Homo-oligomer: A and B are copies of this chain.
């Protein structure tokens, strides 16, 4: 690791810890007759991860000068939405996964009924938390920004975002014919890129960034989200289990179509480079900049683990 990489790794660690502290501040206390569902929710959020989406949200918010009282609730809300989707994805009725990041999944600890309502509780609490940001809005302009941010959060999480992608994925898994490239791109754009879009766009909306920049941030999210997913599929084929910390070759074993299975490793790598370059070019055309965020966007798709 050279010193530039050291600096980036340190900065990333700092940002992740900052995001972590914000998320923890917004988690509900497990008490009273509903303590178990709250415990299950917090167990799942605290399982950790890179906190990538809230870090994005925070960086963009700072870049455009949004106020903490507005963007922090949205950071926590976005991570709650990400986490609820993992809880429900792991259910026996869905992927039937027993472990995630080396820990038992929520249903494996609390039972599948409790895991269903823990996911519901988190999704709902995400909106409760985000709606709390209105209490810090003392003028019409800030109210409008908050309302717009809430609409972005909802759209990206729901049927026109992540849930839509999950549906297309479920349907294509059960379909007799192989998935088309259009459907595959639809799945990636909605299942993966949509929550990254919330991360990149909400901070700018809350700061009242120019429409032109918001449009560009949507574009960056789509390209980076897609590159991120293809890179994931490449690692599933070429990565070592040791570096990744998860079983590799899972997609191929399950006969799941990916960009790699459709176009081969070389073309997939080239597509990741093309998408990344295009996203960074768009990033450089924004009215503001943030060297760390630029590095993070690049690191995301060049990672080997």
Contact = CB atoms under 8 A, between A and B. Distances in A.
Nearest to A115: B93
A154 interface: yes
Contact of A147 (B120, B134, B157, B190): B134
Contacts of A85: 120
A9 to B, nearest CB: 35
A128 interface: yes
Interface residues of A, number: 63
B128 A37 contact: no
* Residue of A121, A127, A154, A160 with highest tally of chain B CB at under 10 A: A127
Interface stretch (A167-175, A203-211, A214-222, A297-305): A167-175
A93 B111 CA distance: 8
Contacts of A168: 33-34
Nearest to A168: B33
A154 B127 contact: yes
Complex copy number for this chain: 2
A36 B91 contact: no
Interface in A36-62: 36-38, 41
A88 B128 CA distance: 20
Interface stretch (A13-21, A137-145, A267-275, A277-285): A137-145
Contacts of A124: 123, 154, 157-159, 163
A237 interface: no
A143 B147 contact: yes
Given A41-B159, A124-B123, A159-B125, A34 B91 contact: no
Nearest to A110: B170
Given A34-B164, A168-B33, A154 B131 contact: yes
A123 B123 CA distance: 8
